[in-house]
Amino acid sequence: MTPDSTASPAPLQEDPEERQLVTRSAAGDQDAFRQLVLRHHRRVVNIAYRALGDAGLAEDVAQEVFIKVFRHLPSYRHEKPFVHWLHRVAANTVTDAARHRRDVQSLDSMEKPPAGQAGDPQDVAARHDLQRSVRRAIATLPPHYRDTLALQVYHDLSYEEIARTLDVPIGTVMSRLNAAKRLLRGRFQGLADAEGGANTP
């Protein structure tokens, strides 16, 4: 009996330790899950923060992401590495949170510029305003464009990682990002002109 190397093509190698943590978490082991959260919380908080612009809200949403992850882990099938799945759960949760936030109330005033950031306070504030408009503009894109662009700018993923996370060919990622950015640029032309290059650091 020789092992059949062609039988099951392991798609992508996942860190065995990570796999173990995922398996143990799925069986309800909270210590394992804590380690999993420890590994990935920065990633998820960053995603939520970039997408929502408020540090406190970002932490809440990131916690919600992990609670969902824990609840759905027993049905996660290891078809793709855990992080790709995590990015999808995060994307859905963050998109919902952003939509909810816009629907329920205009909380723009709550969006505080991050404290303790270096630089001229006026520059920081201007940059903050600009990012808020960018987020709003992204939210108005058609869903495919919006979600793909979100994976690039909020999740900080490469083209290849986006392709794997969404299960689409890399060419699709290229054309979506190209179209998304051209649309966005169109919408921003006026704004950038009006602000007179406030976005150059």
Does the footprint of another protein cover residue 139 (CB under 8 A)? no
Q: Are 12 and 80 in contact (CB under 8 A)?
A: yes
Residue 138 CB contacts under 8 Å (≥ 6 apart), including other chains: 146, 149, 150, 153, 184
**Which x/- pattern over 150-169 shows residues binding another protein (rule: CB under 8 A)?**
--xxx---xx----------
Q: Is 174 in the site for another protein (CB under 8 A)?
A: yes
C-alpha–C-alpha distance, residues 48 and 93, integer Å? 9
Residue 84 binding another protein, by CB under 8 A: no
Q: Shortest approach of another protein to residue 138 CB, angstroms? A: 8
Burial of 25 (0-12, 13-18, 19+ CB in 10 A): buried
* Residue 40: count of CB within 10 angstroms of its CB: 20
Among 15, 17, 34, 136, binds another protein (CB under 8 A): 34
By the rule CB under 8 A, 88 interacts with another protein = no
89 binds another protein (CB under 8 A): no
Residue 30 or 92 with smaller CB distance to another protein: 30
Cβ 60 to another protein shortest distance, Å = 8
